[in-house]
Amino acid sequence: MDSGMLATAGAEIYWQALGEGPAVVLAHGVGGNHAIWYRQIDALSRSNRVITFDHRGFGLSRDLDGRGRDAFVEDLTALLDHLGEAKVALVGQSMGAGTCIGFAHRAPERVAALAICDSLHGIAESAEIKTIMDAARANTADLAQIERVLGANAPRELAALYRQIASFNIADRHNLAGRFDACPAVDLGGKGFPILFLCGVEDRLFPIEAVRVAQAEVPSSFLVEINDAGHSAFLEAPTQFNDTILSLLQMAGHVGKAGAAHSNAAGYVPVGGAA
């Protein structure tokens, strides 16, 4: 595994890279950092170079000029330039999807595939979506963070680990500066790469009904719904999540010589049990 700290304009960005092959970038949500992807790293790195990083203000990264989300896309661009990655697949969860969508708008020629996971960050809300999201925002405003991000049936130990990982962040949903530029959903289509929307059916923050509407507006995109999972489908249902991302990479022709390690492939044993 390679790792390092990159000095960008007004920040220090921590990153890790594991595996060889076409690069896949995992961009975390507001409660996470690079460590949150522990259930994805093994399966995805079998045939790809997997890059994780801490957004400025999260984990080991520092937001020196206080720009927060305003600089997330700039930071990701600098990181990929530093690592010599001309074209990558982007997997963004919640807040991280806003970073990935912003990058895809600015540099579509550098995107092999885009996965928007449990998120509509970076997508302008139509009247129909806004109605659904306004209700969701009202219903979740007073919930504790764990209730917001995990489904009702998530194991207690998963909630405990989530809290521990989040404890290393300086930024949170209350103090995070900046904002994402929001573009109409339709503007995502036609850029030459496949787009996946993936969402837990029990997601309270981004209800599946809103995600369905947004996905229908993006030409040539597709939606995968994961049952019995909330806002953190990547943690709550890692096998389904990983297999879906691996299929996206195959669809995009963005897989190394070893071939994707789906759950029915020899050697893929997901965290928490046998395949």
Quick one: which of 205, 267, 270 has its CA closest to 242? 270
**CA atoms of 203 and 68, how far apart (whole Å):** 25
Q: Kindly report the number of other CB atoms within 10 A of residue 204's CB atom.
A: 18
Position 2 scores a pLDDT of 95
Given pLDDT bands bounded at 50, 70 and 90, which one contains residue 274? very low
The answer to whether 74 and 9 are in contact (CB under 8 A) is: yes
- The answer to whether residue 16 scores a pLDDT higher than 50 is yes
H or E element in which residue 233 lies: helix 233-236
Given pLDDT bands bounded at 50, 70 and 90, which one contains residue 222? very high
pLDDT in tens, 181-216: 999 999 999 999 999 999 999 999 999 999 999 999
**CA atoms of 265 and 82, how far apart (whole Å):** 33
Domain parsing of the chain, residue ranges = 2-251
- The answer to whether residue 266 scores a pLDDT higher than 90 is no
CATH class of the structural domain 2-251: alpha beta
Q: Average the pLDDT over 27-51 and give the result.
A: 96
pTM: 0.94
- The answer to whether residue 73 scores a pLDDT higher than 50 is yes
Q: Bridge partners of 90?
A: 25, 114
Residue 213 has φ and ψ, to the nearest 5°, of -65, -45
What residues contact 181, with CB distance under 8 A and at least 6 apart? Answer: 102, 105, 122
Quick one: which of 220, 200, 196 has its CA closest to 208? 200
